[in-house]
Homo-oligomer: A and B are copies of this chain.
């Protein structure tokens, strides 16, 4: 991030600020001044603030979904069994490992996703669904084979529940860590939480379907 070009400096800074304070609460002036570029640079390079937001997501999600697709290929090629642990484990290791040099990056990613989903009108949510829905669907098919007794419709919702648990928790980690510290006098890391998340999600996804 030291001496990159203007475009990357903007993206790097915007990514952090958006994750920290949300889209509406982050002004272009805050971004450009912290990035050390001119105010007009955003509109020049991206066209608008909204296009900047999309660019931030694109830079994040495109490599991620590509890596996820590759991992699924590998899984199919080696004949790794479709268990909830295996499938979810891939996603988690990927989310935490895409940028090993910066462990905070994973938290930023989830916090951004949280911001995207609570966005007015579900605007960005739809964008994500249309651009990265394919890999997502493939992931869900593997999960379906892992828990064949759960009807597809039911599984769809359980995946949404899981997404909620992950995104919500990691996007609010800052406050939660403070509460945890106060109540239990214990520090927790992002990796800690994902380790706790896995059994919770597996338990929920393969729970018995009522009636």
Contacts and interface: CB of A to CB of B under 8 A. Distances in A.
Contact of A25 (B24, B164, B196): B24
Interface stretch (A47-55, A58-66, A96-104, A110-118): A110-118
A201 interface: yes
Interface string A154-177: 101110111111111101101110
SS of A interface (majority): helix
A122 to B, nearest CB: 4
Counting contact residues on chain A (CB < 8 A from B), the size range is: 35 or more
Contacts of A201: 161, 204
A180 B168 contact: no
20 contacts: A21-B120, A22-B24, A22-B118, A118-B171, A122-B174, A122-B175, A126-B175, A156-B183, A156-B184, A157-B193, A160-B168, A161-B165, A163-B168, A164-B164, A164-B168, A165-B168, A167-B168, A201-B204, A203-B203, A203-B208
